[in-house]
Amino acid sequence: MTASPAPAASLDLGGTTLTYLPDGAFRADPVLAYPAGHDALLGDGLDVLDDDGMLVLSVGAVLVTTGGRRVLVDAGIGDRTIPLTPPGSDRPASMHGGGLLDSLHAVGVDPGEVDAVLLTHLHADHVGWIGNEGANLVPTFPNAEYWVHDAEWDFWTDPARSAEAVGPRPHELALIGSRRRSLTAGAEPVAGVRAVETAGHTPGHLAFAVQGSHTRALIVGDAVHCPGEVLHPGLVWVGDHDPAGAVTTRERIAERVGSDDVVLVGPHFPDTVFRRYHPASERPLSALPR
């Protein structure tokens, strides 16, 4: 089989539902995505490459529906394409979006009904639907608060970061800043949803542990891009701000979801974002039934 972007899917945790909302896709040369080596991706029976040998990742957001609240974890890339093909390469690479609002409407939710956006971090493919780039700075989610770690906010509001292609754009920072709530590890911005320290990919990266009445889940954002990083946490992503810290974080995530009964939610995973990790199994990383 070959990899493809994950479709919409829902997971009932018991009183709380997680719904993956596709926005677009990410296609990258694995040699460039993992400059220190990517051979580990080619084993373990993982389907992460397409027919051209390119790494395929999903791009989207996770809707958490709990206690009458509708909360987004991250906000996709938006209706845009960011080219990632390096000079001299003949292997087109990019990340693109445009489908998040359609995905939201397909599950019967209006953007005005989203009352919080929890941001794992502020890379472009996680803040793209924050709002309109025009002069009026129109928010996509007019009734939502934006929760983000102070270290993440301070890092990206430093003027030295303004030229980074994969960082947030000025209008996104302006809209987030106008209704930003500070978030720290261990805090519960929403009852049953707890922020988990996962720095490394970016300085203030957070994952979110979600507790249902019969199942728990961990939404990992970019702490784990690809299923291969669970089995081989030493794989280093090209965009990891602190590679050593990112590896340590991935090791801790693998231990956590492998030793406890926790569903791993990887919003960038191809084919399906909901997985179980059983290290001792013949195929340790399994997809949940759709």
Q: Which helix (H) or strand (E) holds 81?
A: strand 81-83
DSSP helix/strand/coil, 120: coil
pLDDT tens digit string along 195-213? 999 999 999 999 999 999 9
d(Cα 174, Cα 168) in Å, to the nearest integer?
Answer: 10
| pTM as predicted | 0.96
Tell me: pLDDT of 142 over 70: yes
d(Cα 95, Cα 72) in Å, to the nearest integer?
Answer: 20
The whole-number pLDDT of residue 165 equals 79
What is the bridge-based pairing of β-strands 193-197 and 274-277? unpaired
pLDDT tens digit string along 271-282? 999 999 998 887
Per-residue pLDDT, averaged over 257-262, amounts to 87
pLDDT tens digit string along 169-193? 999 999 999 999 999 999 999 999 9
d(Cα 201, Cα 223) in Å, to the nearest integer?
Answer: 6
d(Cα 226, Cα 55) in Å, to the nearest integer?
Answer: 9
Per-residue pLDDT, averaged over 57-80, amounts to 97
The whole-number pLDDT of residue 290 equals 58
pLDDT range class, residue 164, cuts 50, 70, 90: confident
C-beta of residue 242 within 8 angstroms of C-beta of residue 216? no
Q: What is the mean pLDDT of the chain?
A: 94
DSSP helix/strand/coil, 88: coil
pLDDT tens digit string along 73-131? 999 999 999 999 888 788 899 999 999 999 999 999 999 999 999 999 999 999 999 99
Question: For residue 106, what are the contacts with CB-CB under 8 A and spacing of at least 6?
Answer: 8
Half-sphere exposure of 224 (CA within 13 A, CB side): 30
